[in-house]
Amino acid sequence: MSLSREFIAALCCPSRRCRGDLSLSQKEGNNLLRCADCHSTYPIVDGIPILYPNDTYAPSTHKRHWDQDKNATSYAKKYDSYLQKQGTPWGLYTHESELRAVKRLTKDIDLAGKTIIDGGCGNGRLLSSYPEAAVHIGVDTSLTLLQATKRREPGYWLVCAQLEDMPFKDAVADFSISIRVYQHLRAPEQAFAEMARTTKPQGYVALEVYNKYNSKELYKRFRMMPAMEKRRSWGLAYDAYFSYRDIEKWCDQTFVTPIGYSGAGWGIHFWLFEELRFRYIAPKWVQVPLFNFFLGLENLVSTMPFFRVTLEKICFIGSIQAAPKKKASFLKRIVARSKRKKQKKQAAVFSGALESRNYAFAGTDTTHLRHSVDWLVRAHDATPDGGVSRGVSIVSNGKENGSGWQPSYPETTGYIIPTMIHASKFFSDSDLMQRAKQMGNWELAIMHDDGAVHGGNIRVSPNKAVFDTGQVIRGLFALYKETGLEKYLDGANKAANWIASREQNKEGRWIIDNASSVNTETTTYNIYAIAPLVALGLDQKDQTLVEAGRRAAEHTTTCQNEYGWFADADFQKKDDALLHTMAYTVDGLWDIGEMLDDQRYMSAARKAIDGIVSQMDDIGMIPGRLGSDWQGTADWACLTGIAQTAVTCQKVYKKTGIETYTHAAENMKGYLKARQNMMEPRFGGLGAVWGSWPISGEYGRYEALNWAVKYMADVLLVSIEGNGKN
């Protein structure tokens, strides 16, 4: 039984450090799946891929009590009877109660034509209750149960795997759910993170778990006592119940916003009716009306504030891009305000200590590079998906989770990819290359159908942004050049064509589909997002993209004044400009000039670079905002902008050989090294680079930003390789 191309395309290697593409292969006449990256092979039985990352090391993982053939066969028969409205009154009541709880939470969600994943699907009873879905995916550790499901529903995509290591690519499902499975898992938080990863940001994640805030929890503990186990076994050696508080902790770590809860079952049925052996001795004509009464009562009260979190089972639904349903209470706002005040005091103390002592911890370029790359790795690991965390909040600003990390950021993840590829070669570290691929695969998974990229962090409501799309092209094109894989080129081309289609009247400017937080008339810095179109166009001989870049360069030069300063190179209409966005503008213009071998554009970029460098002091500090005559208008430094400027100076030096530029870059690098966190594991972690210095400055206030670290790493890589320094 072969697998469809679409089914295989949704799968990936279950090893979380790999997650490579799978392809159909054969060995000794048997079909199997082979990973393109790690070359592991996985069997296919009756059209069901068996995808475990740890067969060699823990072969018993998927052979637990409920997976054993005899038990699984019994479960399949029992649940099949429930789908046919047959079986015992007790069993039918439980079945109906569980599914109704889920239905209550999804009643306003249109799943027609969508993709559903059921984690721990058993015989697929939940999947069968959503016939309107286009794709039904079932995951279970029991091959026997999946085979029974396959016989009933041959069109379902069924996978034998564990929930802690889901063998699916990022953002596959519109709706992911797991019903009454988590009590068996030793690492439920990992299973939840996997559900969040494999669900689209605008999709929904749902759970139904046994509730420890219910009387059945006490009964279970009593029954699992050693003395009771000898007399009457509970039947399971491990059986963990959870509460809504546990679920909200998992949500916090995965950036999922809770939307609603619903209760199911009463608990009393088990510890009272079970002890009375009610389901065995009471006649059916007594059981049926009694269970119907309790089921009707559930329907009335299960979503009420008290009952929704105290019934036997608690059902939850949430989404990464859902807005919180209610404003925080007055007490919570008071606590949050007090917490921020304390955090600001701690940040001020840390900032002072860093300024006084960090110079003593400044080391070689290679040491700083290693810390920078390690920080980016931690930022990659801080999110459940393949993206890189936007950064760390030292003072709470609403973007971060309980650990301080912020959600993945498509834009910056895109241009971190080339840095990871470069670093992987420098350190001969294959893990960095694999991470770059995961980042690129995530970008492809969340890209809009027309090629546009989501603007802002992944939690922001769905939108499209020209600048963010251009940055992702950088990463996809770099991956294509490194791997030769057409999927990355196809994604880059689709994104580039979308950007080209948004150009305003062929004027070399883009005033629609910009980030919602910026003034659409002040986006001269967009040229930085257009430079990748030129690189792609030249490589692929697409003159349309090249000419779009040329028009962008022409428009940018018209915005330059007599001092070399560019108007409207800021997020808002102001008389001065942020060094960060000015640096984007200058670097984009330089790159296009160099690629097209046009001296006018390179000269215009150099004139701007000279103006910026003229404001640098002896230790490499440049004001964070610069007026139209290049005079500083801020008393804080934009560390990101300094790193970007150093990168451009290195490019100019490589092209011209003029020592002034490499000396300027080295000076800026020294300033950054003395301010990169090299002494304190807290406050953003070792290797962190803040948006501003001091860290309370206007740009990225109290935040360690991933793109600041990225540009720091870029400066160091070029400095080490170009100058032979370490």
Cβ atoms of 602 and 662 within 8 Å: the answer is no
For every residue of 539-589, which 3-state class applies, written as one string? Answer: HHCCHHHHHHHHHHHHHHHHCECCCCCECCECCCCCCEEEHHHHHHHHHHH
- Using CA atoms, how far apart are residues 383 and 386, in angstroms rounded to an integer? 7
Q: Given this model, what pLDDT does residue 59 score?
A: 57
Query: Consecutive 10-residue runs of the chain (726 residues): their mean pLDDT?
Result: 90 94 89 94 94 70 64 78 84 92 95 97 93 97 92 95 96 97 94 98 97 94 90 86 97 96 92 86 92 94 95 97 78 88 89 77 92 98 97 93 96 98 98 98 97 95 95 98 98 98 96 88 95 98 98 98 97 95 98 98 98 97 98 97 98 97 97 91 90 94 97 98 64
- Residue 725 has a pLDDT of 47
One-letter amino acid at 198 equals: T
pLDDT of amino acid 56: 61
**Of residues 626, 624, 541, the one with CA closest to residue 576:** 626
Work out the number of other CB atoms within 10 angstroms of the CB of residue 440.
30
Strand partners, 573: none
pLDDT at 481 (0 to 100): 98
Tell me which residue of 674, 709, 678, 673 sits closest to 691, measured CA to CA.
Answer: 709
* Cα atoms in the Cβ-side hemisphere of radius 13 Å centred on 283: 2
d(CA 421, CA 625): 32
Rg (CA), the chain: 29
Residue position matching structure tokens 């009716």 = 273
Two structure tokens written together for 331? 């007490």
Q: For residue 130, give the nearest of 145, 113, 155 by alpha carbon.
A: 113
Strands 30-35 and 41-45, bridge-based pairing = antiparallel
SS3 content of the chain, % helix, strand, coil (to 5): 50, 15, 35
Contacts of 74 (CB under 8 A, 6+ apart): none
E strands present in 144-273: 157-160, 173-179, 199-210, 257-264
CB atoms within 10 A of CB 518: 18
Angstrom distances, CA of residue 442 to CA of 198, 388, 483: 10, 10, 16
Nearest to 590 by CA among 610, 604, 577: 604
Q: Residue 317's closest CA among 251, 362, 384?
A: 251
Helix axes 365-381, 410-426, angle to 10 degrees: 130
Amino acid letter, residue 267: G
3-state secondary structure of 664: helix
Q: Hey, which residues does 179 pair with through a beta bridge? A: 208
pLDDT at 279: 87
Contacts of 248 (CB under 8 A, 6+ apart): 258
CA–CA separation, 163 and 192 (whole Å): 8
Q: Does domain 63-319 have CATH number 3.40.50.300?
A: no
Stretch (H or E) spanning 693? strand 692-693
Q: How many helices (H) and strands (E) does the chain have?
A: 25, 17
- N residues, the chain: 726
Report long-range pairs for 220-223 (Cβ below 8 Å, ≥24 apart): none
Contacts of residue 689, defined as CB under 8 A and 6 or more positions apart, other chains included, come to 372, 639, 640, 643, 672, 675, 676, 677, 704, 705, 708, 709, 712
> What is the C-alpha separation between 241 and 689, in angstroms, rounded?
41
Q: Alpha helix (H) ranges present in 49-142?
A: 69-83, 89-106, 125-128
**How far apart, in whole angstroms, are the C-alpha atoms of residue 493 and residue 490?**
5
Among 558, 565, 555, CA closest to 530: 555
For residue 241 the two structure tokens come to 């119940």
Q: Residue 388: which of 401, 375, 397 has the closest Cα?
A: 375
The tokens describing 602, both together, are 């390179």
Instruction: Note the pTM of the prediction, 2 decimals.
Output: 0.95
List alpha helices for 385-449, DSSP H.
410-426, 430-446
The C-alpha angle 467, 468, 474, rounded to 5 degrees, equals: 95
Q: Is 22 helix (H, G, I), strand (E, B) or coil?
A: strand
Q: Is the peptide bond before 384 cis (omega within 30 degrees of 0)?
A: no
Q: How many angstroms separate the Cα of 480 from the Cα of each of 484, 595, 631?
A: 5, 19, 42
